[in-house]
Structure 1
Amino acid sequence: MNIAFINPPFFPKYSRGSRSPAVTKSGTVYYPIWLALAAGVAEKNGHQITLIDAPAEAISVEETMNRLANFNPRIAVIETSTGSISSDIKFAEEVKKKFDNVLVCLVGNHVTAVDKDTLKSSNLIDAIARNEYEATIVELAERLEKKESLENVLSLTWRNGIEIVANGHRPALTQEDLDAMPFASEIFKRFCNSRDYFFAAGRFPQMMVYTGRGCPYLCTWCVYPQNFYGHTYRHRSPQSIAAEFKYIEENFPEVVEVTIEDDTYTVFKKHTIEICKLLIEQNNKLTWTCNVRADLDEETMHWMKKAGCRLVIVGFESGSNEILKLMKKGVRVEQFTAAENARKAGLLIHACYMMGNRGETLQTMNETLTLAKRLNTDTAQFFPLMLYPGTEAYDWAKKEGLITAKTWDDWLTPEGLHNTVVGTHDLSAQEIVDFCNYARREYYLRAAYFSMKAKNIIRHPSELKRTLKAFLTFYKHLFSKESKANTDKFKTRLSHDKDVTTEINGEKGLNNVVKKSSEATVIQKETVV
C-alpha cells in the first residue's frame, strides 16, 4: 500500500516538529523525525513510502500535490501543530479532494490533545493517530487492505459514518520495539537534505536522532511527555545507538554533529556511560549535543566528553525555588550543579530559562536573570512560557482565564514566529515577552560574558565561526533602539521595586524598633512598680 508521510506546506522553515513549533529567529529547523520513524516502520512491514518535508524545502502546496500525484497515496499521514492547525486542515482537505479513495490521517501533539474537536471541524478528515503512531499506521493499513472495520485499532480516533469514535490507548513501545525500527537517518538519507535543517546551538550540518522516549519528570509545560510518549523512559540499546552514529558517519560525509533530542538523555547513568564507551571503542568522529538535567554529575559528563559530546543543553528554567516547585521541576536552585560540572569536564553549556510560569512576578523573573548571570554559560535563551493543549500548564491557564488567544492561529505572529498567549495574575503576556528581550540583552552585553567567551574560543577554536554567526543573527535584536528603550524601562521598574522593598523593610525595621522600645518601657515601669 502507498503511504505518504507529509510535513505540509506552511511558512518556509516552519519547524513543526519542535517542542514549540514556529519560524524561529535563530533559524532552527527540526528534522521530521516522527514521520521518518513511522515511514521506516511502514516500509519494513511491506508498504511503499514517500516523505515530503515542505517547510524545510520551502515548497508550495502545488509542488507538494505534484509529488503526491506521482506517488498516488492510499493513506496520507499529515503532521500538525497548534499554530498551523488551520492551514494543516485546509491542506488535508485538498488532499482528500484531489485523490480518490485516499484516507487522510492527522498526527502530532495538537491533534492528540484535541482529537474529537479536530475531526468535528472538517468532515473530510478521516482519522487521527494519537500519541506514538508507528504501529497505529501499520495496523490501519492492514485493516484497509483487508477491508475490515477500524474498530479496535488502538490510539486511533476515526469517523464511523456520522459518529466520531476514539479507540482505546495503545501501550507504549518497548526497548525491543525501538531497537527493531529502521534508523530515522536511513529515511532522511533518501528523502531529506541535511543542509535544509539547522539547530542554533549546534554545528552545521547536523543530524537529529532520538535514543529513547518518555521522560520521568513531571514539568507542567512539557508537551511531548504529556501528549505523545508518556513519562516512562524507554531507551534503545547502547549497541543500536552506537550503530546509528556509525551509519551517519559513513553515509553523511557532510554532517559534523549529531543532536540527541531525547527530553532527558541522561536519565540512567549506567546506560549513558555504556553508550559513551561504545562510541569511544568505535572511534566516533562526530561531535554531539544532548539535553540533560540541571543536576547532572561530573563523572557522567567526563565520559560524555571522551565520547565526543561537545555541548549540553540544560533546562534550568527559573532562579526561584517557588516557581520551580509550581512547575513541578523536581529540583531546587541549590542543586544546579550541571554548569560547574560541565566546565570541569570541558563541555560547553546552552542554558534554557523560561518566564511566565504559574506564580511568576517581576521579582522572580529577575531572580532567574540573576541566576543566569551567575552561571554564565556559553549561551542562554530566555523564552516566555509556551502553552499547548494537553499539558497541565495549559489546563491551569485556561481555568484561570489567563489565555489571551481567541483561535489556534493566535499561537503565531503573522510572520509565523512564536506568539505569547498567556500572562500571569501579576504580568501581562507582553510584559513577559519584553522581560525576555531585556534579559537577553542584559545577559549577553556583559564584561563577564565577553571574558568567558574569549576563554572558550581559545580552548575551542572551532567555536569562533558559530559564535560570530550567532552574534550577527542577534545583533539587530540586541542593539536596536527598541531594545535599548526596553532595557531602560525594566531597569527603572526594577530600581523602583528595589526602593519600595527597601522602604518597606525600613518601615518594618522602624516599627520593630518602636515596638521593642515600647516593650522595654513597659518592662521598666513594671520593674519600678
Structure 2
Amino acid sequence: MAGKVLLINPARHFIANHNGLGYLVPLGLVSIGGPLIDDGFTVKLIDHDAYGWSFKKLVEEVGKFDPDYVLLGHSGSTATHKTAIKTIHEIKRTYPNITVIYGGVYPSYADKSIMRECGEIDFIVRGEGEQTIVGLVRTLENGGELEYVDGVTWRHGDEIIANRSRNPIVNLDQYRPGWELVDWSLYQLFGFKRAAGLQFSRGCTLTCSYCGQWMFWKKWRHRSPENIVEHLKVLKEIYNVDYVWFADENFSADKETVKRLLELIIESKLDLSLNINMTAADVVRDADILQRYKAAGVDYIVMGVESLKDSVVANIRKNNPFDVSKEAVRLLHAHDIISLTNIIYGLEDESWKTLWEKFKGMRELDSDILNACYIMPHFWTAQGRTVKPSEIIQSDLDKWSYRNQVVATPYLTPFELFLGVK
C-alpha cells in the first residue's frame, strides 16, 4: 500500500494576508498534491499559514494524520525559510522517523547549504516538483536507487549529493492540481469572494536581471487552453470559486494561444473574475484584443513596470520604456480593466533626486494601484551577484519580503528611503 504524504505550508503571516488581500491557496503544494493522489498516495494539506495554529497544535495534527512523509514549501520561500526550518525541527523532535522533504525556489538554489544547516531535512526537491516528488516518494516506497531520481538533493551518510537537474515538464496538462485537498473556507479575496490560484504558463520569455523565476522554470511553457477551461469549470462549478488569480510570470507571451484561451473562457460563460500578470509591452501589443480580455472576465492586470527611467529599464533587461508603460495603463483604463503596477526601489543608487523623479513619473503613469517594493539581492540572480556582502544591511531572511530594505543606498539612510517609498 502506498504511503501517506502530508503537505505543509509554513506559517509566515505576511501583513498583506492578515490585513487586506487575504490568504492565497498554496498553489505549489496543491500542484504536487494532485499527482501524488493520482499515483495512489494518501495526501493531506495543512496550511499552517492560514490556520494560524501554535506549533504545539500543528504537531498534534501531524500526529493525527501519522504521515510517512512531510513535505514543506511556500511561495515566499526566502522570507519563509526560518519558520520552515523551525517547523521541521518541531515535527522531527516529536516524530523523528518521519521523512522530511523541502522544496521551493530558495531551497532549489541553496540546497546544499540548507542541508548542512538543518540535519533534520532528508531531501530537497529542486525546481518544479510534480514529476520529482512522485519519483522520489515512489523510489523510497520501493527501496529503489535514489541517485537516479533527477532534481533531488539528498544524504548518503555524511555526504550531501545533488542529483542532476530534471528537465522541464513538456506536457503540463498531464498533471492536475489537487483541488480536493484545499480547505476552501480559508481563501476569500478581501473577505468577500472565494479565491483560487491557477497556472496557465510557467517561465518567462524575458531575462530580467533582478528576477530568478525565468531560471527556476527554465523556459516558457503553457497548459492547453482546453485544459485551463476545464480547471476553471471545476473551480467554479464544484468549489464555488468566484475569483482566480493566474500565478504566471508572463501570461500573454504567446498572443495566438492566449486569443484561443480567451475565446474558450468567453464561450464557457463561467462568470469568473480573473487577475493576470502581463508585461506592459504585451498589453500594448494586445491593444486590438483587450476587449476579449475584459469579456473573458479579466478585471485586473498586474504589470511589472519596475522602473520609470528608460536607462534603468534597459539595464535590467526589461522591454517597457516609460512611454510603453504609460500607453499600457491608458489602454487598460479605456477597457475598464484595473491596472496594478510594481515599482522597485534600489535598481539604481537612490537619492532625493531619484525619489522625486519616481514620484513625478508615478503621477504621470496614473496606474490604478501602485505596489512599491524594495530590491531583493537573491544570490542566484544577475542583480544579486553584483551586490557586495558589505552592502547587505539586513541579513535576517525573515525581512526579505520586498517590504524591507535589504541593500544599502549610498545617498539615503534607511529611514529616508522608507519615507520616499511611503
- The answer to whether TM tops 0.5 is yes
Aligned 1:236-247 pairs, distance under 5 A: 236-247=223-234
Q: 1:322 aligns to what SS in structure 2?
A: helix
In structure 2, the CA distance between the partners of 1:214 and 1:24, relative to structure 1 (3 Å rule), is farther
TM-superposed deviation, 1:100: 4.9
**Take 1:146 and 1:256, find their aligned partners in 2: how far apart are those partners?**
42
- Check the 8 A contact 2:32/2:177 in 1, yes or no: no
Q: Which amino acid aligns with 1:291?
A: N
Aligned 1:14-163 pairs, distance under 5 A: 14=14, 26-80=20-74, 81-163=77-159
Task: Tell me the alpha carbon deviations over residues 290-317 of structure 1, each in whole angstroms, 9 at most, x when there is no partner.
Answer: 1111121312311101111112112222
TM-superposed deviation, 1:234: 0.4
TM-superposed deviation, 1:28: 4.4
**Take 1:348 and 1:180, find their aligned partners in 2: how far apart are those partners?**
33
- 1:259 is aligned to 2:245: yes
Structure 2 gaps, min length 5: none
Q: Which amino acid aligns with 2:146?
A: L
Structure number, greater radius of gyration: 1
TM-superposed deviation, 1:409: 4.0
**Take 1:280 and 1:161, find their aligned partners in 2: how far apart are those partners?**
56
TM-superposed deviation, 1:203: 6.7
Corresponding residue of 1:338: 328
Determine which of 260, 265, 280 is the counterpart of 2:266. Answer: 280
- Check the 8 A contact 2:305/2:320 in 1, yes or no: no
Task: Tell me the alpha carbon deviations over residues 488-507 of structure 1, each in whole angstroms, 9 at most, x when there is no partner.
Answer: xxxxxxxxxxxxxxxxxxxx
Corresponding residue of 1:445: none
**Take 1:77 and 1:158, find their aligned partners in 2: how far apart are those partners?**
14
Corresponding residue of 2:221: 234
Aligned residue pair count: 414
Corresponding residue of 1:384: 374
**Take 1:126 and 1:235, find their aligned partners in 2: how far apart are those partners?**
32
Corresponding residue of 1:434: 419
- Check the 8 A contact 1:326/1:359 in 2, yes or no: no
**Take 1:211 and 1:5, find their aligned partners in 2: how far apart are those partners?**
23
- Check the 8 A contact 1:75/1:105 in 2, yes or no: yes
Q: Which amino acid aligns with 1:426?
A: Y
- Check the 8 A contact 1:298/1:341 in 2, yes or no: yes
TM-superposed deviation, 1:425: 3.6
Q: Which amino acid aligns with 2:246?
A: I
**Take 1:366 and 1:322, find their aligned partners in 2: how far apart are those partners?**
17
Q: Which moved more, 1:161-170 or 1:119-128?
A: 119-128
Q: Which runs of 4+ in 1 moved over 6 A?
A: none
Q: 1:124 aligns to what SS in structure 2?
A: coil
Determine which of 274, 284, 287 is the counterpart of 1:298. Answer: 287
**Take 2:193 and 2:249, find their aligned partners in 1: how far apart are those partners?**
21
**Take 2:414 and 2:313, find their aligned partners in 1: how far apart are those partners?**
20
Q: 1:216 aligns to what SS in structure 2?
A: coil
- Check the 8 A contact 2:24/2:195 in 1, yes or no: no
- Check the 8 A contact 2:279/2:320 in 1, yes or no: no
TM-superposed deviation, 1:160: 0.8
- Check the 8 A contact 1:384/1:432 in 2, yes or no: no
**Take 1:381 and 1:406, find their aligned partners in 2: how far apart are those partners?**
23
TM-superposed deviation, 1:23: 5.8
- Check the 8 A contact 1:384/1:433 in 2, yes or no: no
**Take 1:435 and 1:379, find their aligned partners in 2: how far apart are those partners?**
17
Determine which of 212, 215, 218 is the counterpart of 2:201. Answer: 212
In structure 2, the CA distance between the partners of 1:203 and 1:390, relative to structure 1 (3 Å rule), is farther
Q: Which amino acid aligns with 1:432?
A: L
In structure 2, the CA distance between the partners of 1:153 and 1:68, relative to structure 1 (3 Å rule), is same
**Take 2:388 and 2:108, find their aligned partners in 1: how far apart are those partners?**
18
Corresponding residue of 2:338: 348
TM-superposed deviation, 1:379: 1.6
Task: Tell me the alpha carbon deviations over residues 370-399 of structure 1, each in whole angstroms, 9 at most, x when there is no partner.
Answer: 222112122222222233342222222236
- Check the 8 A contact 1:272/1:300 in 2, yes or no: no
Task: Tell me the alpha carbon deviations over residues 416-437 of structure 1, each in whole angstroms, 9 at most, x when there is no partner.
Answer: x932211334344443322110
Task: Tell me the alpha carbon deviations over residues 8-31 of structure 1, each in whole angstroms, 9 at most, x when there is no partner.
Answer: 2x35x448xxxxxx8675444332
Task: Tell me the alpha carbon deviations over residues 316-364 of structure 1, each in whole angstroms, 9 at most, x when there is no partner.
Answer: 2211111112222133112222111112222121222121114444333
Corresponding residue of 1:323: 312
**Take 2:341 and 2:189, find their aligned partners in 1: how far apart are those partners?**
15
**Could you say which structure has the higher strand fraction?**
2
Q: Which moved more, 1:244-253 or 1:115-124?
A: 244-253
Q: 1:83 aligns to what SS in structure 2?
A: helix
**Take 1:369 and 1:266, find their aligned partners in 2: how far apart are those partners?**
29
**Take 1:196 and 1:364, find their aligned partners in 2: how far apart are those partners?**
41
Structure 1 gaps, min length 5: 16-21, 438-529
- 1:374 is aligned to 2:364: yes
- Check the 8 A contact 1:218/1:330 in 2, yes or no: no
Q: Which amino acid aligns with 1:235?
A: H
**Take 1:116 and 1:377, find their aligned partners in 2: how far apart are those partners?**
42
Corresponding residue of 1:191: 182
Q: 1:151 aligns to what SS in structure 2?
A: helix
- Check the 8 A contact 1:319/1:364 in 2, yes or no: no
Q: 1:316 aligns to what SS in structure 2?
A: strand
Corresponding residue of 1:502: none
Q: Which amino acid aligns with 1:229?
A: W
User: Quick one: percent identity of the two aligned structures?
Assistant: 25
TM-superposed deviation, 1:173: 0.9
**Take 1:139 and 1:204, find their aligned partners in 2: how far apart are those partners?**
37
Q: Which amino acid aligns with 1:351?
A: T
**Take 1:359 and 1:326, find their aligned partners in 2: how far apart are those partners?**
13
**Take 1:39 and 1:214, find their aligned partners in 2: how far apart are those partners?**
21
**Take 2:335 and 2:78, find their aligned partners in 1: how far apart are those partners?**
39
**Take 1:142 and 1:329, find their aligned partners in 2: how far apart are those partners?**
42
**Take 1:341 and 1:173, find their aligned partners in 2: how far apart are those partners?**
35
TM-superposed deviation, 1:272: 1.0
Question: If the length of structure 1 is used for normalisation, what is the TM-score?
Answer: 0.74
Corresponding residue of 1:221: 210
Question: If the length of structure 2 is used for normalisation, what is the TM-score?
Answer: 0.91
